[in-house]
Structures are given as structure tokens and as C-alpha cells.
Amino acid sequence: EEIMRLARSFPDHVISKEALEAEFAKELKGEDTGRRAYIIEEKSTRKPVGWATIRIHQFQRKMTAADVGLALGEKTAWNKGYGTETARLLLDEVFRQLNLHRAEWWTFSENNVSVQLAKKLGFKEEARLRDAVFFDNRYHDLVVLGLLKQEFESIRAASETSRGETTVSYLQSP
């Protein structure tokens, strides 16, 4: 519940592992073509440690942007590079496979880890929606960050030679 409290990927009612599994079961049916969901696995054990999503935006029936998100449900996986590596894989898909123009990262303002990860990857804060969501008996701000394809390509080219061993085996659709 602690992790789901700050996750934007699913509706408010999805706060348990069982409810999350039920949502992924819907994904398997292919009912939502504008959304891609993945399981994040630990490389050596292939144990699921989280999930990631890409929600594609369309304007005038043309895919133009995507909202990316991830959550690590296993606390033992925190601070080990899973988030960074997974986000890079998502961005590769958004920009290199789907050939979209921009990626968006929406998070709650108090989710400092998420905001810092997005900025580390090159996202820039574009908006702050004041009192946009209500949970924990109070309103919270949403932070919207954006990354354009040309920014991604410049950052990616500079960082490709400095990357070491991977921690995530692959992103797997459930």
C-alpha cells in the first residue's frame, strides 16, 4: 500500500498486489492499444520487482507523445539502478521504436525520488498542477516533466559509452 499510494499508473482502487495482478490480467487481453505494460525482473533470478508503463497520446489520430511511468514494488530493489535502467529502456521504446516526438513524466510533487530520476534522465519540469489530486486526506500537487526526442538523442549519445553492466534482464509484457 505504501508503494501504491504514490503510483499514478493505475486507478485509486488498485492498492494491493492482487488488485494489481487483476489489472495486468486485463492488459493480456489487449483491450487498451494505447497502453503498454511491462514487468520489471531482477536479472539473475528473474524475480518480478516492479512494473512499468507507456501510455501513448494521440492528436488528430497521430501518435505524438507518451507518458512513461514505473514503480518498484520490492523495497529490496530500491537504490540499485532498476529505476534508471527501466526508464532508459522505456525511453528507447518511446523514441527509437515508436518514433514519438516527446515523453512525459507525471508524478506527485512529494515523490522526490521520481522527480530526481526524471531530471537525471534529462526531463525538464514543465508544469506544476496545484492541488490536482486528493489522497491521505489532503490535496497534492502534480509535477509534469517533459523530454523531447532531440534532447533524448543528445543525452543518449553522450552516455552510451559510460554504461556498465545491466541489472534488469528485460522488460516483459505480463
Query: In this model, does residue 166 exceed pLDDT 60?
Result: no
The pTM of the full predicted model, rounded to 2 decimals, is 0.77
The more confident residue out of 11 and 121 is 121
Q: 168: domain CATH number? A: 3.40.630.30
Contacts of 78 (CB under 8 A, 6+ apart): 72
Arithmetic mean of pLDDT over the chain: 82
CA distance 46 to 50: 11
Q: Are 35 and 54 in contact (CB under 8 A)?
A: yes
Where in the sequence is the domain holding 24, given as residue range(s)?
2-172
Q: Which of 11-20, 54-63, 127-136 has the lowest mean pLDDT?
A: 11-20
What Rg do the C-alpha atoms of the chain give, in angstroms?
16
Question: Which residues are 56's β-sheet partners?
Answer: 66
Total number of domains constituting the chain: 1
Give the per-residue pLDDT at 87: 97
Percent of the chain surpassing pLDDT 70: 72
pLDDT at residue 174 in the model: 46
What does the block give as the cell for 172? 516483459
Q: What is the largest CA-CA distance in the chain?
A: 47
Cell 494521440 locates to 58
Give residue 37's pLDDT band: very low, low, confident or very high (50, 70, 90).
Answer: confident
CB 119 within 8 A of CB 87: no
pLDDT at 143: 97
**Residues 27/173, Cβ–Cβ less than 8 Å:** yes
- Whose cell is 495482478? That residue is 21
Average pLDDT for 139-154: 96
